Amino acid sequence: MSTEDLKGTGGTDANWSIHCIDNIYLVSIPENWKVIKSDRFRTVSDIKNTRFSITNYQGTEPETTPMPFAELKGWSLKMFNDFITEGEYEGIDDLDIGDNYIYRAFKVDDETQYYFYTSRLILDHNVIIALILRVDGTYDEKEAALIKKIGKSISPKVLSI
């Protein structure tokens, strides 16, 4: 997906920039989000009402086949249920299960959190990629579309030989 394909989505006409995450894959985000020094990839919007982070989970053993989607789906749905039952998040009825991702939003205090989980087989390792978009205020379909566009922009980093 090119940055031109992303322009104008998610309630923003901002240009998009490509970032390399943990030296294993690329992701496109709005250019006006500033990267914050952290233990993981984090950004904040220029008006500071939107925060975004990416976390990776991967095994240590080499793999030759991608993680079965049913496994990612089960893991994600359990986590979403735990958010509601243990974390006292308020689930928003917008669960979306695509070909290779699971998405859902939650109301948490004065913000809405949008979660997008996917997995990729990258450099012989199954990598679960968790995207979290935290926005001040109430649920907005444009923000849901935004995190899905970001998640769908993920691609393995091409290694030069």
Residue reference for tokens 């976390």: 55
Q: Is 70 within a domain?
A: yes
Which CATH number do you get for residue 78? 3.40.1000.10
DSSP letters spanning 31-60: TTPEEE-SSSEEEE-TTSSEEEEEEEEE-S
Q: Is 161 within a domain?
A: no
Summarised one tens digit per residue, pLDDT across range 7-58 is 444 445 568 999 999 888 999 999 999 999 888 899 999 888 999 999 998 8
- Structural domain range at position 14: 3-156
Confidence of residue 3 (pLDDT cuts 50, 70, 90): very low
**Angle at Cα 43 formed by Cα 42 and Cα 47, nearest 5°?**
155
With beta carbons less than 8 A apart as the criterion, state whether 28 and 150 touch: yes
